[in-house]
Amino acid sequence: LLLLALRLLLFASIVLAFARPAWVEHLAELPAGSTLRQTIYLVDASSSMAHGNYWNESTAAIRKDISDAEANEWGMVVYGDRVLVQLNPSSNAELLENALQEIEPSYAAGNPGSAIESAVRLFRPDAERRLVVVSDFQETDWQRDLPGVPEEVKLVFLSPQTNDATN
């Protein structure tokens, strides 16, 4: 009987491990009458972003947008062929700035599909949501069948403004 109980416990542990549970920290409440504004940056770090000055111009555009945007919280999803970095929304924009300094473009083709899904899941349902897509929008990456973005999410597109030849 004890052996059966141990086997069932082992089986339940394996099932739980494959379910990949996530522990969510308690979200801070806003003062009454104020609106939570979240901005999530979806950042392309594929190999095409290493071309010329694309990466530096993109990170500069993100920094400018952080200072200009009227958001309470900022988050970020960086992708190459998969999600490379995911920062949950925080009221500390400095965390985003520090992460941007450490990230470099990967040497893989871009695949924004899973990154879009990850970015949309980061939003709180009670927030004003803004998704800023930062990419060179290379055709081969964006011609895929991509997931949709909910209507209540405002989409903004930032592209590097270089004078280099197209990649």
Q: Over the stretch 5-19, which tens digit does the pLDDT of each residue have?
A: 999 999 888 887 777
Highest mean pLDDT among 20-24, 83-87, 157-161: 83-87
Mean pLDDT across 55-76: 87
- Return the exposure string of 40-76: e unless at least 16 CB atoms fall within 10 Å of the residue's CB, then b: bbbbbbbbbbebbebbebbbebbeebbeeeebbbbbb
Give the range among 47-51, 76-80, 152-156, 162-166 with minimum mean pLDDT.
Answer: 162-166
CB 41 within 8 A of CB 77: yes
Judged against a pLDDT cut of 70, whether residue 27 lies above it is answered with no
Could you say which DSSP state residue 76 is in?
E
| Single pTM value for the model | 0.74
